[in-house]
Amino acid sequence: MKINCIAVDDEPLALDLITKFIEQTSFLELEEKFDNAIQALGYLNSNHVDLVFLDIQMPDLSGMELARILDGKNQIKKPKIIFTTAYNQFAIEGYKVDALDYLLKPYSYEEFLKAATKAYQFYENQGEASSGLRNQDKAADYIFLKVEYQLVKVILKDITHIEAYKDYVKVFLKDKPNPLLSLTSMKNMEELLPGDSFMRIHRSFIINLDHIDSVTRNIVNIGKNQISVSDNYKEDFLQFMNKWMR
């Protein structure tokens, strides 16, 4: 599935950056880029666009004003908006125009990818819901990870555990001999993964609770892997164990 999008920002460097990020994201297709919101509005009036990466502070017509215009149009399929801004005081206004996400400048590709993945999940779920296959509010069952020079779609239920490795993480998958190596942080992985299925039990480990085979004292056994529960995470894990044993 490809999501067609446009980028709107009056700062040349910021527009170049968002363009670069879009072009290196396999499920995004950049249709046009604009350095002002008036030109973007003209394009949107005559072209179908799924997603708009939109700066807020711009002369003549601000990104928020453009978002309000789009929100007020009587269209069945309105483009979703991801705001990109250096100011954090617009979050509530963004919520009012049903913005999909909010990227605070300066942002990394990791943060960009997290926001773009929300768009991918939204449109995939929307398509499946219209076919009667899925409730649109249901959480996605996958994430995207940057592995070497490509984006890899990873099914959550296949992840057994995750291990920190220098500036990377190793993502171990069921029935796969070698883990995926992704340049991201454990903190970012915690934010991406649903808390009802995944738990951090050590500074260097996140586990999939559904893949636990057994627990011996402070050791979790997942297949042939023995992962210790550190003191900092012991309380949360014990609470899970108490529910698990009921």
Chain segment 115-140, per-residue pLDDT in tens: 999 999 888 877 644 444 334 344 57
Are both 86 and 185 inside the same structural domain? no
pLDDT in tens, 80-118: 999 998 877 655 565 567 788 989 899 999 999 999 999
Helix extents (H) in 24-62:
37-46
Are both 125 and 158 inside the same structural domain? no
Contact 113, 25 (CB under 8 A): yes
Residue 241 corresponds to which tokens in the numbers above?
């164990």
Task: Please tell me the distance from the alpha carbon of residue 179 to that of residue 177, in angstroms, as a whole number.
Answer: 7
Q: Which pTM was predicted?
A: 0.69
Find the domain containing 114 and state its range. Answer: 3-130
Domain presence at residue 146: no
Return the exposure string of 143-154: e unless at least 16 CB atoms fall within 10 Å of the residue's CB, then b. bbbbbeeebeeb
Are both 9 and 51 inside the same structural domain? yes
Contact 193, 156 (CB under 8 A): yes
CATH assignment of the domain containing 206: 2.40.50.1020
Residue 132's φ and ψ, nearest 5 degrees, are 75, 20
The mean predicted confidence, pLDDT, of the chain is 87
- Total domains, the chain: 2
Contact 209, 240 (CB under 8 A): yes
